[in-house]
Amino acid sequence: MKPLENKVAVISGASRGLGRAMALALAAQGASLALVARDESALNETAAEARALGVPVETFLADLTSEDSVTALEKAVIARFGKVHILINNAGMNLRKKIHEFTLEEWMKVTNTNLTSVFLMCRAFVPHMKGQGYGRIFNMTSIMAHVSLPARTAYSSTTAALL
């Protein structure tokens, strides 16, 4: 038996980069996967690789900045898997601009994607994790939570807030 067999992981931002790598690592350890992203094509590629490792995998397209979308995602994941043990909040974005060049809409897009989505996902899935004797939440941030670079104000602010 693999260490994560009979465990269900929800991974946002699972279509590429760290999200994809974490999905494949968890699949290799036996976890069933609920993969969430906006890029359907890339998400399907991640899912195909994970399924090749012999685990149940389902893909979900969702706007994690929308309360209604996250509620629908929660219902769909629970309908498919019945439970959740691992939540990885990995979805994020960065707009590289000087602070005085940001519109409020752009600032809110980064903030809602990087920070509000984590609140919405935790609020949706933590109740399903309670009382099972096993639960893990990983909120991915960046080194830029500690040391920023020019034109990364919104990104660094949101990763620091999450940290």
Q: pLDDT tens, 20-42?
A: 999 999 999 999 999 999 999 99
Instruction: Compute the mean pLDDT over every residue in the chain, rounded to the nearest whole number.
Output: 97
β-strand partners of 136: 86
pLDDT digits (tens, 9 = 90+) for 64-112: 999 999 999 999 999 999 999 999 999 999 999 999 999 999 999 999 9
At 89, the amino acid letter reads N
Residue 129's pLDDT band (cuts 50, 70, 90):
very high
3-state helix, strand and coil shares in percent for the chain, rounded to the nearest 5:
50, 15, 35
Using alpha carbons only, how large is the chain's radius of gyration in Å? 16
Q: For 16-113, where are the alpha helices, taking DSSP H only?
A: 17-28, 40-51, 67-81, 104-111
What confidence score (pLDDT) does residue 135 get? 96
Provide the residue type at 94 as one letter: N
Indicate which residues carry an active-site annotation: 155
